[in-house]
Amino acid sequence: SIFCSSVSFMPCSFRIASKTTYEDTFARVMFLKDVIENKDGYKVFYDGGLPLRREVDLQLFFRLTWFASVSDVNREVDNGRGPVDYKVSYGSKDATLVEFKLASNSQLKRNLERQVEIYEKASDATNPSIKVILYFSESELNKTNAILKELKLQDNKNIVLIDARKDNKPSASKA
């Protein structure tokens, strides 16, 4: 189980027993995806019914998943070629990068092609990087899928799409 009862002020603490920062990071990305898509977390990205479309909100939301981690979790790490959104490491022999993008980003294709590779070399990442793409509409999903297909990345498990649409999440009583 990812939960244990070692924190006195809470019934349990969040702890993931992973062998690498990649496994730990991927599990937390999937937790974030579940919260946004299935537990009304998408609402954080809306104001007055309109999507905020700020990558920084997604980055900060991700930071909240790192409670009780033994890993070193750093945001906007710049090792010489520009800042990667997150670098998660456990010493110098285990490092994973995470890059967040909005599907509406006009540079999405270029970023998927080159950006993270450059960060990996500059930061000595030892594990595959994880790219997280947040979308707010069917058209953004379609655009993203077309880009992934063109780049032959549609089956890449290290690219995680998160659905922040509000029009496809009806209440269970109305579904």
Residue-wise pLDDT tens digits, 29-74: 999 999 999 999 999 999 988 888 889 999 999 999 998 788 889 8
Is the pLDDT at 6 greater than 50? The verdict is: no
Q: What's the pLDDT score for residue 113? A: 87
Residue 166: CA count within 13 A, CB half-sphere: 13
Q: Which residues of 97-108 are buried (b: 16+ CB within 10 A; e: fewer)?
A: bbbbbbbbbeeb
Is the pLDDT at 10 greater than 60? The verdict is: no
- Rounded-to-integer distance, Cα 84 and Cα 168, Å: 31
- CA nearest to 103, candidates 46, 45, 142: 142
Q: What's the pLDDT score for residue 171? A: 76
Q: What would the DSSP string read from start to end of 23-87? A: HHHHHHHHHHHHHHHHSSGGGGGEETTEE---HHHHHHHHHGGGTT-SSEEEEEEESSS-EEEEE
9 or 159, which is more confident: 159
Q: What's the pLDDT score for residue 17? A: 59
Q: What's the pLDDT score for residue 137? A: 95
Hey, how many other C-beta atoms are within 10 angstroms of the C-beta on 139?
11
Using one digit for the tens of pLDDT, what is the confidence trace for 70-122? 888 988 876 777 788 899 999 888 989 999 999 999 999 999 988 777 777 77
Q: What's the pLDDT score for residue 15? A: 54
Is the pLDDT at 139 greater than 80? The verdict is: yes
Q: How far is CA 81 from the centre of its chain?
A: 21
Q: What's the pLDDT score for residue 16? A: 54
